[in-house]
Amino acid sequence: MTLDRSGSRIDHLNVAVPDLAAAVAFYEPVLASIGITKMLEIPPNATPNQPTAMTGFGLAQVKPYFWLIDGGTVGTNMHVAFTVDTREEVAAFHTAALKAGATELLAPAVHPEYHDDYYGGFVLDPHGINLEAVCHRD
């Protein structure tokens, strides 16, 4: 029996980066490889409690849920994994990330230490964030 591992209670995630333009230039083609697009750019000081620029990415034009925030410091051991539907999408993400300037951490493969059908590929983005695309199906 295959478990449904598709659910998440995270509505959105903000990731601070030291250079928003460089991060957007990296993430836009990488996320596009798995159907996630740039949806919203918010300039600095758009609201009183939001002093820096932000760019939001999302799936199917519903709403942005992955945000890059300008002028920040990337935290240690930062890891972001994007769920995809097929193992081919894991490979496409991994290839797009390497082409955009990522460093390979782990090529796409099964990782049974997580569960029998866990198929992921890992890269390090130019700001040091460990990125992954993961498929939970065989």
Give CA–CA dist 94/103, Å, rounded. Answer: 10
Parallel, antiparallel, or unpaired: how do β-strands 64-69 and 13-16 relate? parallel
**What mean pLDDT is predicted for residues 103-131?**
96
pLDDT tens digits, one per residue of 27-70:
999 999 999 999 999 999 898 888 899 999 998 778 999 999 99
Average pLDDT over residues 116-133: 96
pTM here?
0.91
pLDDT (mean) for 71-80: 92
Report the candidate in 53, 18, 52 with the shortest Cα–Cα distance to residue 38: 53
* Structure confidence at residue 3 (pLDDT): 64
- In this predicted structure, what is the pLDDT of residue 6? 61
pLDDT beyond 60 at 1: no
Q: Which residues contact 35 (CB under 8 A, 6 or more apart)?
A: 59, 60
User: Which residue ranges make up each domain of the chain?
Assistant: 13-135
Superfamily of domain 13-135: 2,3-Dihydroxybiphenyl 1,2-Dioxygenase, domain 1 (3.10.180.10)
Q: Tokens 């034009």 identify what position?
A: 61
